[in-house]
């Protein structure tokens, strides 16, 4: 402590004050672990930083991180009515010490704080293999091989040669096409190549009357 004096007025009145040096209580670590300490005149203030909570004035306590992504731990919204998920639709919330981050889920894009929109991967070049068909789903997609092809669809679809199983009728030949096949009667034969072709001479002999 120390004395400070002032001379006041024409009669040289001496006015003295007994002053005390302020002690920085924050230097004594009076607050909880992780709390902020603000020194004042003859006092101090303890407070947990944003994103943390706890008894800041308990020197044996601790300011712990608030997981804003979990309803039971997060504070109420500004209206105080109910908890509100801090991120937008189709987004995930990732907690971090004192804060959190919003990210769009895989297969979505946009502003993760407001709305994430589905990415239609079927419109993107190279999503599926050659000859494959693409089916979009919210957040994902599927590649598949259409009829007449085989494979996983993602990498490639290989044409199936249906002619190896002899799908045509008697006296007909099989013509393999990309993704399909056709049947054609052999030369000199007529009829339905899928069920069977008959000798043209036999057909004419049956239908032409004998004179």
Task: For domain 16-64, give its CATH number from 2.10.25.10, 2.60.220.30, 1.10.3720.10, 3.30.70.100.
Answer: 2.10.25.10
Whether 133 contacts 148, CB under 8 Å:
no
Q: Give tens-digit pLDDT for 84-95.
A: 889 999 999 999
What is the DSSP code (8-state) at residue 22?
A: P
Confidence of residue 14 (pLDDT cuts 50, 70, 90): low
CATH class name, domain 163-206: mainly beta
Average of per-residue pLDDT across 17-25: 67
C-alpha distances (whole Å) from 189 to each of 89, 173, 181, 210 are: 66, 11, 19, 22
pLDDT surpasses 70 at 211 = no
> Residue 164 and residue 171: Cα distance in Å, rounded?
16
pTM of the entire predicted model: 0.58
Whether 29 contacts 58, CB under 8 Å:
no
CATH class name, domain 66-119: mainly beta
Beta strands in 42-185 (DSSP E): 43-47, 52-53, 64-65, 91-96, 99-104, 108-111, 115-118, 133-137, 140-144, 149-150, 158-159, 172-177, 180-185
Range from 70-74, 84-88, 144-148, 160-164 carrying the lowest mean pLDDT: 70-74
* CATH 2.10.25.10 intervals, the chain: 16-64
């Amino acid at each position: 402590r120390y004395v400070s004096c002032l001379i006041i007025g024409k009669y040289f009145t001496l006015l003295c004050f007994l002053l005390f040096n302020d002690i920085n209580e924050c230097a004594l670590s009076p607050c909880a672990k992780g709390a902020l300490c603000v020194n004042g005149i003859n006092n101090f203030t303890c407070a947990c930083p944003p994103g943390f909570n706890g008894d800041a004035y308990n020197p044996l306590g601790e300011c712990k991180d608030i997981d804003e992504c979990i309803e039971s731990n997060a504070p109420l919204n500004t209206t105080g009515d109910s908890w509100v998920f801090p991120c937008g639709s189709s987004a995930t919330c990732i907690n971090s010490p004192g804060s959190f981050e919003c990210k769009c889920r895989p297969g979505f894009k946009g502003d993760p704080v407001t709305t994430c929109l589905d990415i239609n991967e079927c419109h993107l070049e190279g999503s599926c293999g050659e000859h494959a068909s693409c089916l979009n789903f919210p957040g994902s997609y599927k590649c598949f091989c259409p009829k007449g092809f085989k494979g996983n669809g993602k990498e490639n679809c290989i044409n199936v040669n249906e002619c190896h199983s002899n799908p045509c009728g008697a006296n007909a030949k099989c013509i393999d096409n990309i993704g399909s096949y056709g049947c054609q009667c052999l030369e000199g034969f007529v009829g339905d190549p899928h069920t069977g072709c008959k000798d043209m001479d036999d057909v004419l002999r049956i239908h032409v009357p004998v004179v």
